[in-house]
Structure 1
Amino acid sequence: MTAALPSLAARLDSLTGVVSLASPDAAGHRNMVQLVQLRWLAVGGQLATILIVHYGMGVRLPLGAMLALVMTLVILNLVSMAALRRRRGIANAELFAALLLDVAALTAQLYMSGGATNPFVSLFLLQVVLGSVLLDRWSSWAVVAVTCLCFAFLVIAYRPLALPASMDQSLFRLHVQGMWACFALMAVLLVLFVTRISGNLRARDAYLADMRQQAAEQDHIVRIGLLATGAAHELGTPLASLSVALNDWQRMPQIAQTPDMAQEVAEMQAEVQRCKAIVTGILLSAGAERSDGSKPTTVYGFFEALVAQWRITRPYADLHYDNRFGADMAIVADATLRQVIDNLLDNAFEASTGIVSLLVMREVDQIGADQLAIVVRDTGPGFPPDILANIGKPYYSTKSRPGAGLGLFLVVNVMRKLGGAVVARNRAGGGAEVIVTLPLAALALPQERAAPDGR
């Protein structure tokens, strides 16, 4: 089953090209968005402070140079927003450069407004905190070194403020008020942005942990595939011998003249042929023979052929098939998808006490893309709570035989590779239900659609 994945998975990747929202690249993207938003607040805060101090308090500032620096930050933000729309991944070096630009802008503004005597000089700590959260270790320490150097520079080199004579008596009080405003601003910004950034980093860590788990599961699947392929090769010879022996028995007069024995031999021959077909399917999925692994067909044609074949090999099953897909469309049917559905039907048949149902529908996902929905229901006892909690993990099963529980494990992993999803739940009226959804983009023929057949 696993070897049939690349054809559909590669086709889906070429159509989507979307980075997971929790991936490291996406986390860097969202962190850069946070920095851009923080810079917008800095622009607004600097502009308001400059105008209030210059016009409201009568402190003469180099208004032209300071406003030009604010406009530079605005241009930098517009360029950053355009870059964020064009690309998804943001590297550590880009975040580091953005923080250095913010430090440089803050240093220039402080240089023109009193240097280290300006109570807002403590805003350097905000850059240090952001660097420690966002950046790799070396770049975090680099931000610390740069901010320390900038602070030291502002101690010895700055443009003194030209304060009005009326402020001489209240200078210390104004400085304390400025320190309070700086503290309040830093506290609000830290809570607002650091919590968001920490959430992005937690999502990234969870994504990486999930990727490690998937890698371990894929390794497990590969081992299963190797064992299955070896067993299939070894079973080929005894199955061929049994088929020859049963053919000889069918021609023996003693058996041919006894209808009951002839019927039993015919049934045995059918079961041997079914076993040979299963072995052939394993070898095909493993890549031993791939000339006809993927075939163009339609949604209705694919499911009708699948249901007909399944009913032949399981004549005692009561399968209710309902296709509500709507207008038919051309698809590329891979053996992997057939095996996934066969696996679900087999599990439902083994668990069911009556009817097994297969429902096929077309749905629209949250982003408006069409997807194929496959619903398999049974009338059995349903999933125990511990099985539902571990859907997709190997060897969790209600069956007591060794090796049981691999069916849903393989289904979940195959659908994950194809960009789909699997949901298992118990029905209110009894029995279990497994819903498989798969983007139609992963199956559709390029620039082709089958004509509606009126169903």
Structure 2
Amino acid sequence: MAQPQREVFESHKRSNWVRMRTLVILRWFAVIGQIGAILVAIYVFGLSLEIGLIAVVVALPVLLNLVSMFLYPESRRLAEGEAGLMIGFDLLQLGVLLYLTGGLNNPFTLLILAPVTVASTVLPLRSTMVLGAITLAIITLLRSQSLPIKTAGGFELLLPDLFVFGFWVALMIGVVFVAVYARQVTQETLSMGEALAATQMALAREQKLTDLGGVVAAAAHELGTPLATIKLVSSELVDELEGKEELQEDARLIREQADRCRDILQSMGRAGKEDHLLRHALWETVIREASEPHLDRGKVVRISINPPNEGDWRQPTITRSPEIIHGVRNLVQNAVDFAESTVRVNVSWTDNLLTLQINDDGPGFPQSVLGRIGDPFVRRRRADGRGGQRPGYQGMGLGLFIAKTLLERSGATISFANAGPQSGSGRERGALISVQWPRASIEASQGALGDNTPIT
């Protein structure tokens, strides 16, 4: 997914993440906690506070909650600006309340981390940065400006300056760290969720195409006999209607349309009947089927078969599963996209393993992203800024993630590496993707064909 599209997509999704009811409930909990802390401070510890001003500040979120509950339905989801304003209000309300209750001398100042943490998980980066800057400004202001907390005897409760300074530094670092940490975890979760949804869509599409191919193949098989009969009869009519030009032309038209139906069915399906044979194929056949859409894209795709030197040299028959076909197709697509001229697909097997290696002659994976290949939304493969040379695609990551997820789902182990420097050049000679399956996980069992079953 291209970076501008990704940012718009992220902003659009995040703008409708949070319901107003969620923030209203959190605000009720905050108000109850504030009232409880104030009552304990006054009646248990006998502290002297500005009760009038504090009551006004605590009443503001109560009033906002009541207005929100009456004006908006509980299921209303907040846009980016609305969520930002509501979290900003909570931040300012808490800042004013801390100003009235001792500033950084109040241990509850730590709660100022809560609004910016919530913002970092539900708001886009721009709004999060704005609220983070406001939080840092409030903390800095509270360091030097606040009303003191006094005991009943008028004694001011003040921490040593060194403690206040340390608390200020800790809060400043905490705001940045907690916000970045929460946002990064949320981003990873969001990216993984989107990528898994895309994987499921790709698998569902591949499954539908597979099912559709079987239906079309069966239709081509079943309609073959009546179409052949129509063509035969129409050809005889053409001969018998010699001299009757108009009727003969109609008979020719019937024959041509029968041929056209035959060609259409042949173009839509290759096999003749949906049976168990279509569910299994030779190891090489499945790889060629998966690679076929990328064989005519201007690059040479060489598929080589390497039977074992020892053991059973016969090529195994495997299950033709949508996961394997779609996953291998994505890997070949990625190799063709970045290859300069040639992609080598090596198919091999042993008594225990089936191995597929895909090697292109492009610049290879940059070391900066090699360890993250297969994670969703790793957007660049090259570090030289030549991403625009990739024909027809922008960015990388989601396709490889889908391929990796689907292939691992089929029992494969996949690894990404660079094939190594060319002799004497010091230049990487392309990316190397290796996929291995335990033979027992995808090999068709003996006698798996069974009886043919009709399509319903």
TM-score (norm 2): 0.39
Which has more helix, going by share of residues? 1
Which structure has more relative contact order (CA 8 Å, sep 6+)? It is: 1
TM-score (norm 1): 0.39
